[in-house]
Amino acid sequence: MFLLSEYLPTIILASKSTGRKQLLEEQGCTVIVDAIDCDENNNFSSIEQRVLELALLKLNTYLAIKKEIVLPVISGDTLIALNNRVIGKATSIDEAKGQLLAFSGQKHTVFSAFALYLPKDKRIYKGVDKTAVTFKNLDEKTIANYLKSNSWQQAAGSYRLQNDMKRFIAKIEGETSTVVGLPLPLISAIFTKPSSF
């Protein structure tokens, strides 16, 4: 079975996302977390373009600050769309509750993008994927119990697939890794199908 660690034995993750770190570690990679802060405000019209440019912005900011880099560096970004409305990270528990109530019994789309710098060829690769997620019907008590765990914090749409929320999901149409935060098949394709990039 192909694992990213064959090509990326050690990688710098320019992100605080525990989900992205877990995905890379499950691929056998040794992950060095070295997140940076940058201005994520932008005016891109499409969600695909927005999430892709945010991932690229994070990577380019990292590269500009760190200068000499000998290890591969990856960054990512995730946004959610519900009825053509972008759902980001909640800034309060009330906002998180509102997001989860809006998802209840509904289908939404998760967009995750990556930007990967390979120092050997000094190239940046990027890509974006989307996956549809349908929630079961959730009542306020169920949501309130979930919110007590604080798992909603720093998560697009106030949930992480690898945490307790997984049991409240009725259906996933697409790549599970995209929902967690990195579209692994697209990243793998850089090494297995280089002619496609």
Q: What is the pLDDT of residues 133-181, one digit of tens each?
A: 999 999 989 999 999 988 888 888 999 887 667 788 999 999 999 999 9
129 has catalytic annotation = no
Q: Detail the DSSP E strand segments found in 21-139.
A: 30-33, 73-82, 85-87, 107-118, 123-135
The total number of structural domains that make up the chain: 1
CATH number at residue 146: 3.90.950.10
CB contact set of 180 (below 8 Å; sequence gap of 6+): 19, 20, 22, 23, 112, 160, 161, 162
Domain span holding position 45: 4-196
- The catalytic residue among 77, 129, 139, 164 is 77
Q: Which residues of the chain have pLDDT under 70?
A: 1, 39-45, 163-164, 194-197
The pLDDT assigned to 38 comes to 72
Report field, pTM of the whole predicted structure over 0.75: yes
